[in-house]
Amino acid sequence: MNSIYDKLTTLDFVIVAGYLVALLVIGYVVSMKQRKKNETLFLAGNSLNWYSIGFNMWGTNVGPSSLLAFASIGYATGIVAGNFEWYAFVFLLLLAMVFAPRYIASKVSTMPEYMGKRYGDSTQNILAWYALVKILVSWLSLGLFSGGVLVRQILGIPMWQSVTVLVIFSGIFTFAGGLKAIAKVNVFQMILLIVVSLTLSFLGLQKLGGIDVLIAKTPSNFWNLVRPSDDASYPWPAILLGYPVAAVAFFCTDQSMVQSVLGAKNLEQGQLGVNFIGWLKVMALPLFILPGILCYALYPELGSNSDLAYMTMVTNLFPSGMNGLVICVMIAVLVGTIGSSLNALSTVFTNDIYVKKINPTATIQDQIKIGRLTIAAGCVFAILIAVAIDNIKGQNLFNIFQAVLGFLAPSLSVVFLLSVFWKRTTKKAVNATLSWGSAFSLFVGVLYLWIFPADKYPVWPHFLLISFYIFAVLMISAVIISLTDRNPEVNVSDETDIPKTSKKVKLLFGLLGLVILVLYLVFNGN
């Protein structure tokens, strides 16, 4: 499918070329300023304000998967994917009120470093390597894969060529500017994403004849957030129980997401940034899901090829000359996701492995050099994993993303929740969960996705429920290990200096929670 390429004009190519040059110039300028200030690539010199944090976290979270996958599930099942954006409020609140104050008070730069302060070097080492695997698979590889699908749909080239081109550009940008450059660019890029996506939804509604016509042409259950317990796609127990497992790991413990908060000027700016991403997530329906539903009404001939929904809308609705802007949006979300992921990867490896174990006397320049080498290695590895993910059959894009995250998340959710809420948790339990527990979870994931795929072996429960079952097993195991440990080494961190949350932050989260509640009341009972 390369009809969008055939529609590109000289103006489109000029817009794309200018955009690419602008990104590289920004990366170079920020890199020069960092050298003068002797800053590293990693935490932006703790200079990020609330809107930079919010846009950067959203840019990291959105990625090309939101453009493709949310439109895909919107085409196939309606607004049920809104749960993955609006239910996230609970876990953003948990990050802002519980985890962020502890992270900032600890003055850490990575999640492994935080856990290392609590349980020692062995825990930090295990979590560092696990964090590297998680970043490589769940962020870099999935982001590249979805971007590769987009490029393949536009240009009609093989997956390995698509992801290679994408990762080279994103890697060069991250290589040059680090987190500060990514954060600065993401503010502009996310505004561009909002404008283009809203325009696509507007043009779709205009072509169809309005909201009333859309509702008339779609099944009534398309507008329900909560599906029956026997629903084949997204039964409510799977979302209620399974989504939180991934959400805690994703929003509260994932280096790629939390790193923006760690780079905040202060706690309040970090919390306001987390609140801001919550408001941005409210917009998921008109930005990402509605184009897929509109595609269902306008182009029902796609059938099972729902992954083509977004590009089908673009190809058929955008006039010649706007396609360059669409490609710029693709670049924007790719640079946001892949760039933040590469930066997180280099931060964890440099701080938790290189400086901690290999060269404790490393200078800032040594750290930058190693960080950049890590970025280059991560690019190569991510390409290989993205091509492997392309071979998963019988799942749409959205399900692949959620399933992979669901199998990576249980051990992280267990150890961070227990560490914060139960001081009796022991080092032995944490290390066992992160090592053996993670191995068990990933083994089940490999069975589900590759060896005995669910489309051929329907005996599998819903993948979100599998994630919850693994979480429950690991949680019970960790509690038993802690209680039976004869020489318990427990959490030794001092939490007396945790900063207080301001009234402004509490008020804004209260308002956001009220909006989310109204959305759930409106989009049910149809």
Query: Which residue did the predictor score with more confidence, 206 or 145?
Result: 206
What is the C-alpha separation between 520 and 226, in angstroms, rounded? 9
- So where are the chain's domains? 4-391, 394-495
What pLDDT is recorded for position 326?
A: 76
User: 235-244, 318-327, 331-340, 439-448: which range is least confident on average?
Assistant: 331-340
Report the pLDDT value the prediction gives residue 1, as an integer from 0 to 100. 45
The set of residues, in sequence order, having a beta carbon less than 8 Å from that of 522 and lying 6+ positions away, is: none
pLDDT at 44: 44
H runs (alpha helix) in 156-217: 159-208, 211-216
Q: Can you tell me the distance from the alpha carbon of 224 to that of 333, in angstroms, rounded to the nearest whole number? A: 28
Please tell me the least confidently modeled range out of 370-379, 409-418, 455-464.
Answer: 370-379
CATH assignment of 4-391? 1.20.1730.10
Report whether 64 contacts 213 (CB < 8 A). Answer: no
Taking phi over 0 as left and psi of -120 to 50 as alpha, with beta for the rest, 38 belongs to left
Mean pLDDT for 112-118 is: 89
pLDDT for 4 equals 63
The more confidently predicted of residues 334 and 468 is: 468
Q: At 109, list the tokens.
A: 């730069």
| pLDDT, tens digit (0-9, with 9 covering 90-100), for 162-215 | 777 777 766 665 555 544 555 566 667 778 778 888 999 999 999 999 999 999
Cβ(391)–Cβ(158) below 8 Å: no
Cα separation of 311 and 155, whole Å? 12
Residue 427's contacts (CB-CB under 8 Å, 6 or more residues apart) are: 119, 120, 122, 123, 488, 489, 490
User: Model pTM?
Assistant: 0.83
For 230-248, write each residue's pLDDT tens digit: 888 889 999 999 999 999 9
Distance CA 171, CA 175 (A): 6
